[in-house]
Structure 1
Amino acid sequence: MKKTFYTLALLAGLTGAAQAQRNVSLGLKAGATYSSFVGKQANNEEGRFGFQAGGFANIGLSRMFAFQPEIIYSQKGTKYKDITDYSTRLNYLDVPLAFHVNADGLFFEAGPQVGFLLSAKDEAGNTSVDVKDAANAVDFGYLVGLGYQRKTGLGIGLRYNGGFTNIPKAYTSGNVTVQNNIRNSAFQLYLTYSFGG
Structure 2
Amino acid sequence: MKKVFFFIAALFTTYFAQAQEGIKLGLKAGVNVSSVVGKDEENLGNLLGLHAGGFLDYGLTEQFSIRPELLYSMKGFYAEADEEDFEYKSYLTTHYIELPVLARFKAGNFFVEAGPTFSYLLSAKTREEGELLGEEFEETKTVTDELNKFDLGVAAGFGYQFQSGLGLGLRYTRGLSKLDKSEEAKVYNSSFQLGVSYTLR
Q: TM bucket by the smaller chain?
A: 0.7 to 0.9
Cα distance in structure 2, aligned partners of 1:151 and 1:26: 15
**C-alpha displacement of 1:8:** 6.4
Paired position in structure 2 for 1:153:
165
| Corresponding residue of 1:175 | none
1:191 aligns with 2:196: yes
In the TM superposition, residue 98 of structure 1 has moved relative to its aligned partner by 1.0
Q: Distance in 2 between matches of 1:87 and 1:111?
A: 29
- Report the equivalent of 1:91: 95
Specify the SS of the correspondent of 1:47.
Answer: strand
Q: Percent of pairs identical after alignment?
A: 37
What is the CA–CA distance in structure 2 between the aligned matches of 1:116 and 1:7, rounded to whole Å? 49
Query: 1:9 & 1:115 partners in 2: Cα distance?
Result: 44
Alignment pair present for 1:26 and 2:15: no
Instruction: Give the gaps of 5 or more residues in structure 2.
Output: 82-86, 130-137
CA distance in 1, matches of 2:10, 2:145: 54
1:95-139 CA distances to partner (integer Å, 9 max, x unpaired)? 000110001221100000000001111112463211111100001
2:134 match: none
How many angstroms apart in 2 are the aligned matches of 1:81 and 1:124? Answer: 10
Kindly state the Cα deviation for residue 43 of structure 1 after the two structures are TM-superposed: 2.3
Q: Secondary structure at the match of 2:88?
A: coil
Deviations 1:129-177 (A, max 9, x none): 111111000010010000112575211000000000001114xxxxxxx
- Counterpart position of 2:52: 53
Aligned to 1:136: 148
Runs (4+) of structure 1 moved beyond 4 Å? 6-14
Q: 2:121 aligns with which of 113, 117, 122?
A: 117
Q: Name the TM-score, length of structure 2 as normaliser.
A: 0.85
Amino acid at match of 1:46: G
Give the RMSD, CA atoms, in angstroms. 2.1
The aligned amino acid for 2:140 is S
Partner of 1:174: none
Q: TM-score, normalised by structure 1?
A: 0.86
8 A Cα contact 1:89 1:122, kept in partner? yes
Using the alignment, how far apart are the partners of 2:123 and 2:114 within structure 1? 26
CA spacing shift, 1:9–1:180, aligned 2, 3 Å: farther
List runs of 5+ in structure 1 lacking aligned partners. 171-177
1:127 aligned residue: 139
- Give the conservation status (yes or no) of the 8 Å contact 1:25–1:151: no
